[in-house]
């Protein structure tokens, strides 16, 4: 068994065109006024047209309809990578908020229910230092967080506000780009599950005001950048398997874990059947497993044993 860095994967590397079932990632620039689920529709339609209607499809991280920016869509086995993207890939945003009015949704789509003073911007340096590191926030009433199996936004639309316990998140980077008593523009890199709408409300409170978001753009997910994304409208022009294949990105671009190469067919078969494989290597993060240049899946190495996490050879 050999192990090496994943540096051999270029950031914009495309998958080779074959007749195999589609497995890979698409970087989409989601437009405003479209839900993340609706953004999947042109891709689903194309999959049906090219005879791939059974291909699994999903996305890594919901963007609200009023927001735009990077949305990663996964096909095939790559849909099973969601938990790892959420754990290892911070999400970066640029946001614009207005002071003086709070809405029930935390953004411009909601109803105003609170008026307050404009911002006291003298607290700028304190705020910039406060929003770095561990950060605790409650999920907003209008969110996909579930209570008794039903999203909070469904409860809220019925007039029932469910207060959930605060959840600890991480803010890796925070910068105020523009600030006056009326509005703020800031950028933040945060852990998965962080609501920027709630972050804006908390920031406004620290400026002795209240506020809501009016613009939100996601610029990065881990190593993936909005500048690499394809406009969603362009997928309506694709007509073939080959054209869609050329848009697919290797999952290693988003999850640049170390790469393990299995030396023998015996080890390959052991991985295929979910069996552990003895190894002298050690690694805290998951590793990509390959054999003869073909990706087999994702594994973890603990106490001298390589254990299967995701078998990408199995039939979906």
Active site residue 64: yes
Report the length, in residues, of the chain: 316
The CA-atom distances, in angstroms, between 15 and each of 20, 69, 206, 219 are 11, 23, 47, 23
The count of other CB atoms within 10 Å of the CB of residue 173 is 12
Catalytic annotation, pick one of 20, 38, 64, 202: 64
Burial of 277 (0-12, 13-18, 19+ CB in 10 A): buried
Q: Phi/psi at 31 (nearest 5 deg)?
A: -80, 165
Neighbours of 46 (CB within 10 A): 19
In the chain, which residue ranges form alpha helices assigned H by DSSP? Answer: 41-49, 82-88, 124-130, 152-157, 196-206, 241-245, 265-272
Active site residues: 64
């Amino acid at each position: 068994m050999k192990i090496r860095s994943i540096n051999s994967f270029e950031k914009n590397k495309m998958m080779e065109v074959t007749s195999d079932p589609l497995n890979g990632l698409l970087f989409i620039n989601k437009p405003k006024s479209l839900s993340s689920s609706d953004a999947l529709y042109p891709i689903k339609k194309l999959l049906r047209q090219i005879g791939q209607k059974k291909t699994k499809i999903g996305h890594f991280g919901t963007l609200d309809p009023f927001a735009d920016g990077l949305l990663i869509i996964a096909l095939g086995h790559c849909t099973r990578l969601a938990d790892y993207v959420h754990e290892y890939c911070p999400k970066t945003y640029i946001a614009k908020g207005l002071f003086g009015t709070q809405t029930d949704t935390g953004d411009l789509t909601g109803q105003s229910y609170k008026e307050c003073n404009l911002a006291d911007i003298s607290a700028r340096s304190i705020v910039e230092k406060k929003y770095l590191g561990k950060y605790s926030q409650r999920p907003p009433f209008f969110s996909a967080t579930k209570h008794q199996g039903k999203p909070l936004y469904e409860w809220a639309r019925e007039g029932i506000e469910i207060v959930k316990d605060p959840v600890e998140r991480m803010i890796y980077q925070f910068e105020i780009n523009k600030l006056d008593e009326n509005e703020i523009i800031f950028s933040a890199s945060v852990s998965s599950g962080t609501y920027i709408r709630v972050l804006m409300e908390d920031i406004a409170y620290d400026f002795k005001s209240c506020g809501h978001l009016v613009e939100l753009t996601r610029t990065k997910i881990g190593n993936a950048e909005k500048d690499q994304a394809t406009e969603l409208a362009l997928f309506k022009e694709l007509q073939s398997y080959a054209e869609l294949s050329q848009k697919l990105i290797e999952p290693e671009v988003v999850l640049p874990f170390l790469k393990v190469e299995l030396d023998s067919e015996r080890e390959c078969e052991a991985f295929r059947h979910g069996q552990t494989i003895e190894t002298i290597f050690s690694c805290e993060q998951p590793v990509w497993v390959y054999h003869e240049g073909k990706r087999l899946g994702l594994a973890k190495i603990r106490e001298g044993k390589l254990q299967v996490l995701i078998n990408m050879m199995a039939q979906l």
